[in-house]
């Protein structure tokens, strides 16, 4: 994937950003795409929102390296704009291959864009969150993106309810 030029995002990226964490994990988090920090380091969720995601993962009883974390698109859209449909279509085979190889028991969709893209459903994230759905036959729990939670900390309470649903799936108590 490193040298991929299948869409226009190849022209402006510094690094492709494949994934981080445990490729044998039962739990997979999927976000939208790399930001500036991720593009610079070639790792997903390494900036401030990554630190909050690590706290969310710790609240589930895992270390950040225990779970698998990736994005819908693997290269940074310029100025953090949303990826275009043709870019998503070009990159989706990588995500499908990742998930087919990983075979997670649960996917957590991080934020409106990743969740709407995975589910092909334009319903708002405030309505999607907290309700179990499926992607490629895998249970998917939509919740808010950590970057949104940094801007709207009062919504962390709802994100915690979503994570508790995930914990229940794994037989853990919240």
Q: Which residues are near ligand SF4 by CB under 6 A?
A: 1, 4-7, 9-10, 16, 73-75, 87, 90-91
* Cβ-contact 139, 109 below 8 angstroms: no
Strand partners, 68: 21, 28
Give whole-number Cα distances, 44 to 17, 64, 138, in Å.
Answer: 6, 12, 22
Q: In what order do the strands lie in the sheet with 138-143?
A: 19-21, 68-71, 27-31, 106-110, 138-143, 133-135
**Residue closer to ligand SF4 (CB basis): 5 or 58:** 5
Read off the DSSP letter of residue 171: T
Q: How far apart are CA 115 and CA 109, in angstroms?
A: 5
Closest approach of Cβ 18 to ligand SF4, in Å? 8
We find the least distance from the C-beta atom of residue 51 to ligand SF4, in angstroms, to be: 24
Nearest-approach distance from CB 82 to ligand SF4, in angstroms: 13
For ligand SF4, the closer of residues 32 and 87 by Cβ is 87
> CB-wise, 10 or 119, nearer to ligand SF4?
10
Q: What is the rounded CA–CA span in Å between residue 28 and residue 76?
A: 20
Chain centroid offset of residue 85 CA: 17
Pairing of strands 68-71, 19-21: antiparallel
Give 56 or 90: the residue with its C-beta nearer to ligand SF4. 90
Residue among 7 and 118 whose Cβ is closer to ligand SF4: 7
Q: How far is the CB of 1 from ligand SF4 (least distance, A)?
A: 5
User: Which helix (H) or strand (E) element contains residue 108?
Assistant: strand 106-110
Smallest gap from Cβ 95 to ligand SF4, in A, equals 9
């Amino acid at each position: 994937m490193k040298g991929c030029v299948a869409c226009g995002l190849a022209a402006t990226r510094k690094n492709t950003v494949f994934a981080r964490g445990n490729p044998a994990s039962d739990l997979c988090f999927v976000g939208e795409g790399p930001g500036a920090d991720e593009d610079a380091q070639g790792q997903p969720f390494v900036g401030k929102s990554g630190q909050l995601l690590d706290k969310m993962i710790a609240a589930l009883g895992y270390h950040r390296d225990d779970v698998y974390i990736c994005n819908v698109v693997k290269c940074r859209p310029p100025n953090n704009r949303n990826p275009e449909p043709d870019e998503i279509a070009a990159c989706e085979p990588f995500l499908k291959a990742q998930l087919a190889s990983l075979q997670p028991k649960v996917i957590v969709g991080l934020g409106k864009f990743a969740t709407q893209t995975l589910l092909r459903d334009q319903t708002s994230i405030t309505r999607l969150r907290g309700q179990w759905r499926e992607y490629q036959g895998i249970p998917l729990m939509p919740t808010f993106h950590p970057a949104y939670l940094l801007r709207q900390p009062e919504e962390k309470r709802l994100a915690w309810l979503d994570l508790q649903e995930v914990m229940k799936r794994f037989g853990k108590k919240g």
